[in-house]
Amino acid sequence: MRHLLATFVSIFLLFVGPCAAQPDSSTKIDQYIKAEMRRQQIPGLLLAVLRNGKIALVKSYGFSNVEHQVPVKPETLFQSGSIAKQFTATAVMILVEEGKLSLDDKISKYFADAPESWKNITVRHLLTHTSGMGDYPPDMDTRRDYTEDQYLAIIK
């Protein structure tokens, strides 16, 4: 949940980009972020403000690992968590509108090595969480980066 809140704070702040150019506004934004981090117990976040498609400000706050006191840096990668579902659904729907895929396409069209048990699962099933696919195996390390082949081997 903290990652979700940090993500929403970051997204909100992208819309105040024009204010970031003003020193007084920048200080106010900085104070606001620090206050919200304390209030919502957010251990760390990375702020990026874009202006006219270019990075106007990048600032890190807090820790990416509280236990080891590892500070957030501009190159720190955060797990997106559950919010990735909304971004994925939006990207898929853009592809649908462009005619590049259909919600009723079988996923085996895109995953040639998909197991037989997936043969009737469609893109629509994945987006509506009605595919019948199970949860991650209990021994899967969700904090680790997997290649596509490694990931498919785990979930098959």
pLDDT in tens, 43-70: 999 999 899 989 998 999 999 999 999 9
* Dihedral pair phi/psi, residue 31, rounded to 5°: -65, -40
Domain range summary for the chain, segments of one domain joined by +: 2-78, 82-155
Per cent of the chain over pLDDT 90 is 49
pLDDT of residue 140: 86
pLDDT of residue 145: 82
Q: In what order do the strands lie in the sheet with 70-71?
A: 44-51, 54-65, 70-71
- Quote the crossing angle between the two packed helices 23-40 and 2-14, to the nearest 10°: 160
pLDDT of residue 23: 57
pLDDT of residue 1: 46
* Catalytic sites, residue numbers: 82
pLDDT of residue 22: 54
Walk along the chain (156 residues) in steps of 10 and give the mean pLDDT of each run.
51 50 74 96 93 92 94 89 89 97 95 86 95 85 83 78
**Longest Cα separation, the chain:** 60
pLDDT of residue 135: 81
Per-position DSSP letters for 89-154, written without gaps between them: HHHHHHHHHTTS--TTSBGGGT-TT--GGGTT-BHHHHHTT-S---PPPTT--TTS---HHHHHHH
Residues 6+ apart with CB under 8 A from 108: 114, 118, 119, 121
Query: Which residue in 42, 47, 44, 46 sits closest to 17, CA to CA?
Result: 47
